[in-house]
Each structure stands twice: as structure tokens, then as C-alpha cells.
């Protein structure tokens, strides 16, 4: 099961190390974007959006269509984010907002229903076959060579985008007026609405923001992964693992955990290819046993 030789060979060769680290980073960044959306929505609205993977999928498909029609990747990425945000707001207003404060069972069921419907709709609109977008024209440049390893420019763009968007959403929530109102409403919604603020609008907007993060992740993933109905589930489960390891409600924690998981995945695929999933779950179980609040969690939410 363990391929020590391959692992040692990779760790001692700078080229392989660079390749695996960049792969790990882009996996980690996608996870981070999805997980920070989950954690943002949970932190404020106290619902777990089990349908979050669907917004990742929608973002990817919207970006695909926008790229095919316009040929511009930046437009495509924006379309992915915006489309996911709009779908998220509709989902929040029509469905999820009706089960706020109810037990988890109801939230789970409506999310399950939503996943079924969206997966089937995607199948009807885009077909059940694998779609692939390919590296967009803007990024068809020769890869950078760093210490013998190859780093495609698109990977750098992905990492930079993820970091900027992650920092941006952290800034929105902690520093802006919008973030302050939303956080206040999370503590005491009736008090905030008594101050003349339409709390529902803010909740919907925040839900949309969380879904936009998933949509961007989908749009960023579209060129490097194949698109298929049901693609959201894998990343949803991994982003749950990220939130558990990083600590629920902590965006920096999600960042740290996402990088740990991404590197585990990429280096593990060399050293223990059959045990990559197992390793992720082992890390999660260890965190749960020894530090149940997560690496950077505040520990009050559980």
C-alpha cells in the first residue's frame, strides 16, 4: 500500500516537489472557497447547506456556457459566480428560509430535494456526458519553470484568485457595514429588525455570497476538471472535512485546513495512492478526538 520509494524519490527531487505542491495548492484553494461558503452560511444562519456542492456544479456549468459563447474566461468566471449567487438567493428565499430554526431533518430533506432537482436539470440542459472546457485561451502560455518543476500560469491565477476572494469575503464579513449588520442579525434578528433593517434581505444576500464563493470555485475548476452532473458531492464532503479540521465558523481555519488537505491529496497520490481518502479521514478523526473544536475554531458552536 505504501510506496515509500516513490514518496522518497519525489520528496528528494525539487521538480516533483514543486509539481505536487502546486497541485496540492490548487486542490486546497478550491476546497477553501467551497468550505468558506459553507462556514459563512453556517456561522450566520445556523443552517448547514447540504446543497452547497450544487452551487459549485452550477458555477462550473455557467462558466462553461459563458466561455463557449463569449470565449472570454474572465466573463465566464464572473458568470459562474453571479449565476450561482442568483440561484442561491432564489433557493434561500423560496426554500431554505422556510426551515430556518427547524430541526436538521427538515433542512437535510429540502437540501436533498434541491440536489436531486438541480442534478436532473443539469442533465436535461447540458446532458449527462462529461464535458470539458480545457485551459482557456488567455492562459495557453508556456508553463513557468521553477526548480525543474512546471507550473502552468493558470494554476497561479487560480491560487491568486482564491486568496483574493477569500480575503475579500473575510473583509466583507468582519469590516464592512454589511458584515456588521449580518453578524448582529445572527445574534439577535428581532432586535436588528426593530432598528428598521430588513433582516431577510441581508440573510438572502449573505446566502448568495456563500453560494457565489462556491460558484467561483466551480468556475475556477471548470478548465482543469471535467464537468458532470453530481460533481458537487465529492467537493461538498471534502469541504465538510475542511470545516471540521479548521474549526466551524473560522475562515482562516478553513484556509489552513484546505491547504493541509490539498497537500495530503497531492503528495498522497504519489506515496499512498490507495489510501488518500483514508488519510484525509484519519486527519479528521484525529482532530475530532484531540481538538474537537478544530484547529482554529472558537469552540462555542458545538
Partner 1 sequence: MNLLREFRRDIAIAAVALLVLVAIGLGVDSPWPRDFLTSFFAFGLLAMSLNLLIGYTGLVSFGHAAYFAFGGYAFGLLMQWNGFTESLGAAALPAAFVAAIGGTALYSLVIGAICVRLTEIYFAFLTLAFQMFLYSVILSAVTITGGDQGLMGGIPRPPFLGIDLADPHHRYVFCAVVFMVCILIMRVVTESPFGYTLRMIRDNAQRAAFLGVNVTRVKLICFVVSGSMAGVGGVILALFTSGAYPEWAFWAQSGEAIFMIMLGGLNVFVGPLLGAVALRVLNDVVQMYTSHTEIVIGAVILFVVLGLRRGLLDFALDWWVERQQAKLAATNREDDKR
- Give residues in contact with partner 1 (CB under 8 A): 42, 48, 50, 95, 98-99, 103-106, 108-110, 112-117, 119-121, 123-124, 233-234, 237, 240-241, 244, 248, 274, 277-278, 281, 284-285, 288-289, 292, 302
Report helix angle 177-187 to 14-45, nearest 10. Answer: 60
Residue whose CB is less far from partner 1, 28 or 223: 28
Name the residue nearer to partner 1 (CB basis): 144 or 291: 291
Nearer to partner 1, 136 or 294 (CB): 294
- What minimum distance in Å lies between the beta carbon of 246 and partner 1? 13
What are the two backbone dihedrals, phi and then psi, of residue 150, each rounded to the nearest 5 degrees? -105, 130
Give the closest residue to 227 by CA, choosing from 155, 133, 158. Answer: 133
Q: Identify which of residues 12 and 103 has a Cβ nearer to partner 1 in the complex.
A: 103
Query: Whole-angstrom Cα distance, residue 244 to residue 242?
Result: 5
Tell the smallest beta-carbon distance from residue 96 to partner 1 (Å). Answer: 10
Return the number of the residue (191 or 274) whose C-beta is nearest partner 1.
274
> Rounded CA gap, 114 and 107, in Å?
11
Using the minimum distance from each CB to partner 1, give the nearer residue, 83 or 294: 294
Gap between the terminal Cα atoms of the chain:
36
Task: Please name the residues in contact with 39: beta carbons below 8 A apart, sequence gap of 6 or more.
Answer: 243, 246, 248, 249, 250, 251, 254
Residue 108 Cβ vs partner 1, minimum distance, rounded to whole Å: 6
Residue 22 or 266 with smaller CB distance to partner 1 = 266
Contact in structure between 114 and 91 (CB atoms under 8 Å): yes
The b-or-e profile of 235-248 (16+ CB within 10 A means b, else e) is bbebbbbbbbbbbb
Chain mean position to CA 149: 27
3 state DSSP class of 145: strand
Q: How far is the CB of 297 from partner 1 (least distance, A)?
A: 11
In the complex, the smallest distance separating the C-beta of residue 202 from partner 1, rounded to whole angstroms, is 22
Q: Minimum CB separation from partner 1 for residue 204, in Å? A: 17
- In whole angstroms, the minimum distance from the beta carbon of 171 to partner 1 comes to 27
Distances in whole angstroms, Cα of residue 173 to Cα of each of 180, 193, 200? 7, 19, 17
| Cα 229 from Cα 224, distance rounded (Å) | 16
Give the C-alpha separation, 58 to 86, whole Å.
Answer: 11
Min dist. Cβ of residue 83 to partner 1 (A): 19
Closest to partner 1 by CB, 12 vs 124, is 124
Using CA atoms, how far residue 180 sits from 175, 201, 206, in Å, is: 7, 14, 12
Amino acid at each position: 500500500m505504501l510506496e515509500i520509494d516513490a514518496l522518497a524519490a519525489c520528496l528528494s527531487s525539487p521538480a516533483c516537489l514543486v509539481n505536487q505542491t502546486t497541485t496540492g495548492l490548487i486542490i486546497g484553494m478550491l476546497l477553501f472557497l467551497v468550505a468558506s461558503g459553507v462556514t459563512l452560511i453556517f456561522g450566520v444562519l445556523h443552517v448547514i447547506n447540504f446543497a452547497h456542492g450544487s452551487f459549485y456544479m452550477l458555477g462550473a456549468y455557467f462558466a462553461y456556457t459563458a466561455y463557449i459563447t463569449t470565449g472570454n474566461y474572465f466573463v465566464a468566471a464572473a458568470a459562474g459566480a453571479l449565476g450561482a449567487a442568483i440561484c442561491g438567493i432564489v433557493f434561500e428565499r423560496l426554500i431554505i428560509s422556510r426551515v430556518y430554526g427547524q430541526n436538521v431533518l427538515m433542512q437535510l430533506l429540502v437540501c436533498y430535494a434541491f440536489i436531486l432537482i438541480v442534478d436532473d436539470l443539469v442533465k436535461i440542459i447540458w446532458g449527462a456526458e462529461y464535458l470539458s472546457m480545457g485551459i482557456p485561451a488567455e492562459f495557453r502560455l508556456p508553463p513557468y519553470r521553477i526548480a525543474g518543476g512546471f507550473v502552468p500560469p493558470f494554476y497561479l491565477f487560480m491560487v491568486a484568485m482564491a486568496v483574493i476572494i477569500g480575503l475579500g469575503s473575510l473583509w466583507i464579513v468582519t469590516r464592512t457595514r454589511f458584515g456588521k449588520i449580518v453578524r448582529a442579525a445572527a445574534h439577535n434578528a428581532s432586535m436588528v429588525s426593530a432598528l428598521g433593517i430588513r433582516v431577510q434581505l441581508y440573510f438572502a444576500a449573505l446566502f448568495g455570497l456563500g453560494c457565489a464563493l462556491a460558484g467561483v470555485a466551480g468556475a475556477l475548476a471548470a478548465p482543469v476538471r471535467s464537468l458532470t452532473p453530481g460533481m458537487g458531492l465529492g467537493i461538498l464532503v471534502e469541504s465538510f472535512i475542511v470545516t471540521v479540521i479548521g474549526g466551524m465558523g473560522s475562515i482562516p481555519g478553513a484556509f489552513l485546513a484546505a491547504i493541509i488537505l490539498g497537500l495530503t491529496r497531492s503528495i498522497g497520490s504519489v506515496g499512498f495512492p490507495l489510501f488518500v481518502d483514508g488519510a484525509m479521514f484519519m486527519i479528521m478523526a484525529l482532530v475530532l478526538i484531540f481538538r474537537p473544536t478544530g484547529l482554529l475554531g472558537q469552540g462555542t458552536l458545538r
